[in-house]
Amino acid sequence: MEIYVSTDVETDGPIPGPHSMISFASAAFSPDKELIATYTVNIEPLADSSPHPDTLLFWQDNKDAYEATLVNQLPAITAMTDYLHWLESLPGTPIFMSYPITFDFLFVYWYLIKFTGRCPFSHSGIDIKTYAMALLGTDYRNSGKTKMPEYWFDNSPHTHVALDDAIEQGRLFCNMRNERMKNMNFPWKQK
């Protein structure tokens, strides 16, 4: 069984290495939208990294969320080793999922490889906006959250606290997927 691991990262800059992932969370969902487990952690900044000025401006506008990233920070090696064990304990194949995948996966993959030497997701994952593009039959730039049907969204907060956002986007994806599964009409399935 596939387990959809909705993941949200919070960082102090645009790329890993020069900048740090300061918090992240994953919410593991079954295909039928059951929230199986969650993982959340705050991470100490990398020794040779520094915050990016543009990201610091973002955090100035989101002070409560930033303050949440400073609580109980762990060394990156501890956080990523614990996360790897958590992923391996899930009752199925973990599939990385995010919105946008290009940002979140970049950090999670880099940190997993650097600190554990492996990544259970391999080199793949699901981008929720791209999935919306396919379902809506529109261009990528016209597939953002403001263009999605309201009934795809649960009443979940988007707070820039990693766990809240991971759960929110996981529920969004499951709603989209479940609608698609109910409305599948492929000719080769009717034979």
The answer to whether residues 49 and 20 touch, using CB atoms and an 8 Å cutoff, is: yes
CA distances from 113 to 36, 89, 122, 123, 160 (A): 25, 19, 10, 11, 25
Instruction: State if pTM tops 0.85.
Output: yes
Query: Quick one: CA dihedral 80, 81, 84, 89, positive or negative?
Result: negative
Considering the domain delimited by 2-181, tell me its CATH architecture.
2-Layer Sandwich (3.30)
Give tens-digit pLDDT for 2-49.
Answer: 999 999 999 999 999 999 999 999 999 999 999 999 999 999 999 999
Q: How far apart are CA 107 and CA 23, in angstroms?
A: 11
| Strand ranges, E, within 18-110 | 21-29, 35-42, 93-98
Locate the domains of the chain by residue range. 2-181
Give tens-digit pLDDT for 121-171.
Answer: 998 899 999 999 999 999 999 999 999 999 999 987 778 889 999 999 999
